[in-house]
Amino acid sequence: MSTLQARPKDKPFFLWLAALDPHRDYQPNSIPNPHKPADVVVPPYLPDAPDTRRDLALYYDEITRLDGFVGQVLAELEKQGAAENTVILFISDNGRAFPRCKTTLYDSGIRTPLLVRWPAKVKPGSVCGGLVSTVDFGPTFLELAGLPATPSFQGESFARLLANPAARVREHIFAEHNWHDYDAHKRAVRSERFKYIRNFDTDLPNTPPADAVRSLTFQEMRRLRDAGKLSPAQLMPFQKPKPAEELYDVSADPHEFRNLASDPQHAATLSHFREALATWQKDTSDPARGVRAKDEFDRETGEPLPNRQRPRPSKTQLLRNHI
């Protein structure tokens, strides 16, 4: 907040605020009125079990605390008289740190919040269903500032969507996952209706990040897996081999449970997405699979392995130092 208060008031400004919330580990009693486990909505790819509900409630507590921090920023802009013509983007870089979310290419991993507040230009409550990618932020900010995009940018400006939510700037967005505590090599293409995923390492399961492996939810899933009580969708983080290709109609199947890649009725769609991925990989010089890196954490417990070489301060230490 001090940085925002100290900014030069006679010049345009750009400020990026990165929050520790809602990164794990989650802290109990982080807000005055914590969420009740009985009130949370459990998505069908997670087991509806007491530990899952407790974990989700703690996650919602952190979202609430983050919302409070955002409110402080908005209040300061109002105090400065700058709120009307300040463009605010509230975004996230990935899905929540739960199984089948963060580090996966399902929508629960890559379809993240994107809220825009610009009272002078954007109608409050308007909704746009068009596709936008993180690589589009740079070109968008430059266009809003009246500047041309640099040739190195791969993204497309979505500035016109702010004035016309019915407009479109993309047919596809592309996503990838290469490494996060565990090695992986996955690519995805999404249109408004379909999602295509290419798994290059079929022998590796979709293990969530190590902090999510250590979570109440994942450890409960391990117990239920061993007892034979998980549904096929809930078994996905443990599945190996996994399919080399996945195709989903995300309009009809938003949780991406029914893989259509082997369905003859969708052969043309599959071919279209294969070609789109190949073109994108060529245009971006996407590297081929290299030497597989060693896991830094155990895939069942989330505990560090001997080759873990990047010790970092815990979230508790970071909060103590910066809040």
Count of structural domains, the chain: 1
Decide if 139 is inside a domain: no
Query: Would residue 152 count as lying in a domain?
Result: no
Residue 164 domain-assigned (yes or no): no
When mean pLDDT is compared across 170-179, 270-279, 304-313, the lowest value belongs to 304-313
Q: Are 98 and 24 in contact (CB under 8 A)?
A: no
CB 94 within 8 A of CB 109: yes
Neighbour-count burial of 145, counting CB atoms closer than 10 A to its CB (0-12 exposed, 13-18 middle, 19+ buried) = exposed
Looking up tokens 């279209």 gives: 272
β-bridge partners, 248: 195
Q: Are strands 182-190 and 114-117 parallel, antiparallel or unpaired?
A: unpaired
What are the tens digits of pLDDT across the range 15-30? 999 989 999 999 899 9
Q: Is the pTM of this model over 0.95?
A: no
pLDDT grade for 318, boundaries at 50, 70 and 90: low
Beta bridge partners, 304, equal 297
Buried b (16+ CB within 10 A) or exposed e, 65-96: bbeeeeeebeeebeeeeebeebbbeeeeebbb
User: Omega into 241 within 30° of 0, i.e. cis?
Assistant: yes
Q: Report the distance separating Cα 191 and Cα 130, nearest Å.
A: 9
Look at residue 73 and tell me if it is in a domain.
Answer: yes
244 occurs within a structural domain? yes
Predicted confidence (pLDDT) per residue in 32-80, tens digit: 999 999 999 999 999 999 999 999 999 999 999 999 999 999 999 999 9
Q: Which CATH number characterizes residue 74's domain?
A: 3.40.720.10
| pLDDT higher than 80, residue 316 | no
Domain membership of residue 79 as a residue range = 14-131+171-287
In this prediction, residues 273-288 reach a mean pLDDT of: 95
Question: 199 near 176, Cβ under 8 Å?
Answer: no
* Rounded Cα gap, residues 93 and 258, in angstroms: 26
3 within domain boundaries: no
Kindly state whether residue 203 falls inside one of the protein's structural domains.
yes
| Domain presence at residue 176 | yes
283-313 tens-digit pLDDT: 999 988 888 888 999 999 999 998 886 666 6
Distance of CA 172 to the CA centre of its chain: 17
Higher pLDDT, 288 or 144: 144
